[in-house]
Homo-oligomer: A and B are copies of this chain.
Amino acid sequence: MGAARFLRGLALRVDPRRLKVIVNTGDDEEFYGLHVSPDIDTVTYTLAGLANPDTGWGLSGESFNTLHALERFYGKGWFALGDRDLATHLYRTDRLRQGWPLSRITADIALRLKVRAQILPMSDDRVRTFVKIRGREPMPFQEYFVRNRARGQVEKIELRGAGRARPLPQALQAIRSSRAVILAPSNPFVSIGPILAMKGMRSALASIKDRVAAISPLVGGKPIKGPADKMMRGLGHEVSPAGWAKLYRDCVGTMVIDQVDRSYLEPIRTLGFKAVATDTIMTSPARAAELADVVLGALEV
User: Footprint of B on A, CB under 8 Å?
Assistant: 32-34, 63, 65-70, 72-74, 83-88, 90-91, 93-94, 97, 109, 112-113
Contact = CB atoms under 8 A, between A and B. Distances in A.
A94 B97 CA distance: 13
A62 to B, nearest CB: 8
Given A72-B112, A112-B72, A113-B72, A66 B87 contact: yes
Contacts of A68: 84
Nearest to A30: B94
A59 to B, nearest CB: 8
B97 A33 contact: yes
Given A66-B87, A72-B113, A83-B83, 7 more contacts: A33-B94, A63-B83, A66-B83, A68-B84, A70-B90, A72-B87, A73-B88
B63 A94 contact: no
19 contacts: A32-B90, A32-B94, A63-B63, A65-B65, A65-B83, A66-B83, A69-B83, A69-B85, A69-B86, A69-B88, A70-B87, A70-B90, A70-B91, A72-B87, A72-B113, A73-B87, A73-B109, A74-B91, A83-B83
Nearest to A74: B91
B73 A34 contact: no
Closest 4 CB pairs of A and B: A33-B94, A69-B87, A65-B83, A69-B84
A127 B74 CA distance: 28
Given A63-B65, A83-B63, A34 B70 contact: no
A142 B124 CA distance: 35
A34 B68 CA distance: 18
Given A66-B87, A86-B86, A33 B74 contact: no
A25 B86 CA distance: 26
A87 B84 CA distance: 13
